[in-house]
Amino acid sequence: MTGEGNSRPALLLVHGAWHGAWCWEPLRSALRGEGLRTETVDLPSAGTEAGMHEDAGVVLEALARIDGPVVVVAHSYGGIPVTQAVPDSGNVERIVYLAAFQLDVGENLLGHYGAPDPAEPRGFEPVPGDPVTLFYGDLPVPEARAAAGRLAQQNRRSFSDRLTRAAWRTVPSTYVVCEDDRALPAPAQEAMAARSGTVHRIASGHSPFLSRPAELASLLGKIGLGSDG
């Protein structure tokens, strides 16, 4: 992707577990209104045998295709492969952790919840029960059900693979706390947000890119302008 004469950074949007690039479409439309360029990835751990490190490789490949500076927006599980990938890229100005796992070297998603690594990490984690409430509680029910119907099984290895790098230690980061989140409650987000340089809050459930795309786009636009520290 070329710069197209725009000096503002592009946004690379990285989805969470069970999701795909499809979930960003309302936000991408709103971001175009803010004059921001966007790119997305489909993390292979949703639906294939790939783990977190393969996801990180896909993120790194996407960053290599973008000309100019980039702000990476990572949602939920997507924060883990982003944290792993970004140190190997030279064009990331900032990471935005959107209700995301901002973990450190040696940590993994299971450990965050105090769970042991599985003896057999192969196989898939099914879509959680009642995803409409868990992920999309502030969306109209028909829209929430439509989104839930697009979710895919998640490879279990992505939850047990451990970080060997922590990008937020060397790259500026911002955390966006989703205050009404039922999947990753706000207190858990705030504990991780202490690792970020700046913190913002949005009164939304776990998926503001679907429920509050205009509000989230406005916030990301300000961050993309460099007004976030």
In the block, tokens 């100005």 appear at: 93
Q: Residue 122: left (phi > 0), alpha (psi -120 to 50), or beta?
A: beta
- The pLDDT of residue 8 is 86
The span from the CA of 21 to the CA of 66, in Å, is 17
Domain count, the chain: 1
Residue 4 in any domain: the answer is: no
- Please check whether residue 154 lies inside any domain of the structure: yes
**What is the DSSP secondary structure assignment for residue 165, as one 8-state letter?**
-
Q: Is residue 1 part of a domain?
A: no
pTM, 2 dp: 0.95
Tokens of 63: 């960053």
Q: What range defines the domain where residue 17 resides?
A: 10-224
**Is the pLDDT score of 3 beyond 50?**
no
The answer to whether residue 5 sits within a structural domain is no
* Closest residue by Cα to residue 85 from 144, 24, 139, 166: 166
Confidence of residue 227 (pLDDT cuts 50, 70, 90): low
Asked whether residue 153 is assigned to any structural domain, the reply reads: yes
Per-residue pLDDT tens for 13-48?
Answer: 999 999 999 999 999 999 999 889 999 999 999 999
Flag whether pLDDT at 101 surpasses 70. Answer: yes
Alpha-helical (H) ranges within 35-98 are 52-64, 79-85
